[in-house]
Amino acid sequence: MRIALYATLAALLFSGCSRKTWLYKNPAKGNVYGIALQAGIKNLPPSQEPVVVAVLDIGTDINHTALQPYIWTNKAEVPGNGIDDDKNGYIDDIHGWNFIGGKGGEINHESTEETRQYQKLKRKYAGADTAGKDSVYKSGYKKYLSAAKIYERQQGYRDAYISSAEASYSSYNNHIIVRLISLLSGEKDVRKTLAAEMITSREQSRVNKIDADSVRRTIVGDNPDDTTQKYYGNNNVIGPDAMHGTHVAGIIASIAARTKDEGKWLRIMVLRIVPNGDERDKDIANAIRYATDNGAKIINMSFGKNISPNKTTVDEAVLYAAAKDVLLVHGAGNDARLLDSLYRGNFPNPYIASKKTYVQQWIEVGASGKRKNNLAASFTNYGYVSVDLMAPGVKIYAPVPGNKYAFQSGTSMASPVVSGVAALIRSHYPHLKAEQVKEILTQSVTVYDDYTTMPGDNRMLILYKRLSKSSGIVNVAKATKLATEYSHKR
């Protein structure tokens, strides 16, 4: 997970002009393209048992008033007694679990996966002489040289970015544009926000220069290379930085709060696995298994990275969840690139290399904008083969820590929109399987059969239906209607 100064600046500049509830509205040609929530909940059958949605993220403010009614509680565990009452291996896991904390504190900033792989290879191959070595050793040495080039290039980009950010901040300081941004956005601490972005970037650059595995062992206490370990971490699901996770969970909760029964059908399980940096495959896999074993029927994953050295471990967890009828929902990423060649460096993903197949209980979500001229978010990844559908992900207003609200953009916001709608369907039509819910959501989209601006900087036009497999945007009204039809076929 990476934060960009200019993306933050743009959000501050335009957020004050955005309507806070556009994502819920009925889609209207030439107007706002929302998800038709109110139209979709008019004739719902009664909900059954609450559906548990696991939010795998950076941490979530479970004390936010907008989230409290929906937070999952492990009733088999006695709070604060220091005993694993339900004998699931996790002591006092009341509202979920934190896989990136331990007795040594909390991991906030982490290195990128590319950096971690470079550090591992460097310990073995730096200064090595390949003369007389076997082919396996020489192959490893080549990987090291390749990783070193990537690391040095990325570190150079980060250092250049920090210098650019500092120069930009300096030029904005005491400048009229700061006052303009503040006026339009309602953000009073613009300088503070921009400065915080620079601090985050500096910290990321610093973290990439240290031995992340050693830090991990000190704080969490596990062996980062042992993917068989499951029982580590602590129960602090909020963590030191709960901004992103609170916003994600808040979007899911906001859909529930707008239903006639005020969302009694929803519970949100919090699993902290994402640092400011790249999440580890081991933690992703363990969180998926924890969610599955503790009753989650939907898993939201608003995170991603470029490489996955232990993808097999993640794949096994994904297959485990799919076999237990769990629907996995993943944000497609914010690189404005095509993912159709086996997801082109976008992890995790539903492709199982060992079986040469795709998990059908997985939904890959791209981000849509508010109006037709920018109906594809400028940042969203896309793919006619790899992205299943689109959902609102631009200037989404939702809870943030401290009982506050804010606008954020990203496929991280689009994914929980789909998770929330999926939970709505699974709670009111409990007989439907995960794969059927995916079929319903992808077959009931709002199809926009026209051109829109292509994601990225080239500003070319593209047929909107070419951006995803379903050719459209999630639509609650159509989805609930189709779910009813599925029910009548039983």
Mean pLDDT per 10-residue interval, the chain, length 490 residues: 38 49 86 93 90 98 98 97 97 98 94 86 81 81 77 68 57 49 48 54 56 89 96 98 98 94 92 96 99 99 94 98 99 94 85 94 97 90 96 97 97 98 98 98 94 88 93 97 90
Residue 265: per-residue pLDDT: 96
Residue 135: per-residue pLDDT: 82
Residue 131: per-residue pLDDT: 77
Residue 137: per-residue pLDDT: 83
Residue extents of the structural domains in the chain: 5-104+233-488, 114-207
DSSP for 110-155 reads: ---HHHHHHHHHHHHHTT---TT--HHHHHHHHHHHHHHHHHHHHH
Residue 10: per-residue pLDDT: 35
pTM over 0.85: yes
Q: What is the largest CA-CA distance in the chain?
A: 74
Residue 118: per-residue pLDDT: 83
Residue 412: per-residue pLDDT: 98
Q: Under CATH, which number does the domain 5-104+233-488 receive?
A: 3.40.50.200
Residue 263: per-residue pLDDT: 80
Residue 166: per-residue pLDDT: 57
- End-to-end distance of the chain based on CA atoms, in angstroms? 43
Residue 31: per-residue pLDDT: 82
Residue 136: per-residue pLDDT: 79
Question: Other CB atoms closer than 10 Å to residue 40's CB: what's the count?
Answer: 24
Please give, one letter per residue, the 3-state secondary structure of 45-96: CCCCCCEEEEEEECCCCCCCCCCHHHECCCCCCCCCCCCCCCCCCCCCCCCE
